[in-house]
Amino acid sequence: MQIPKIVTKRLILRGYEENDLDAFADMYGNPDVMRYIGSGQTSNRSESWRLMAVMLGHWHLRGYGSWAVEERTSGAMIGRVGCWRPEGWPGFEIGWMIRREFWGKGFATEAGSAAMEFAFEELEQPHVISIIQPENAASRRVAEKLGEKLEGTAEVLGKECVVYGISREEWENS
């Protein structure tokens, strides 16, 4: 399967490449980045490689998935963003994760916006959600900037999370 490439003002959303492993492992090995992701545990390099392979596998099994996010000016792989719905997930999710040194620059919002447009325009999803641990104020702000509103809660991977969401109609009218 060919993973589509999306170019925004400052970013390139693209498929993962083997040479992304250093940046990917840096991201998944950083306690600040992982604080609100899943169990909050960091991953070592070999675990990060397997996680990157899972991201690629999701594209092949579902026809959509998470992109590597590359900063256009530097060429650095700065994070991941995309569409996510593994088996048992509470809905079609747009999720994001940015490497620590790239926080505070609006990259999550820019990448999330591109992923949301892809979900609604290309995949014709009627509704998307973002699942966020309640204490993650930064991600909640990103969800709100994307037009999502708090819709409720869900237990995901053993953690109580808040669920933000937006319908295609709401997105089109925003």
- The ranges assigned to domains in the chain are 6-125
112-146 pLDDT, tens digit per residue, is 999 999 999 999 999 999 999 999 999 999 999 99
27-67 pLDDT, tens digit per residue, is 999 999 999 998 899 999 999 999 999 999 999 999 999 99
The domain defined by 6-125 folds into Aminopeptidase (3.40.630)
> What does the block give as tokens for 127?
């509704």
- In 3-state terms the chain splits into helix, strand, coil percentages (rounded to 5) of 40, 30, 35
Q: What's the whole-number mean pLDDT along residues 75-103?
A: 97
Rounded CA-CA distance 81/107 in Å is 10
pLDDT at 1: 80
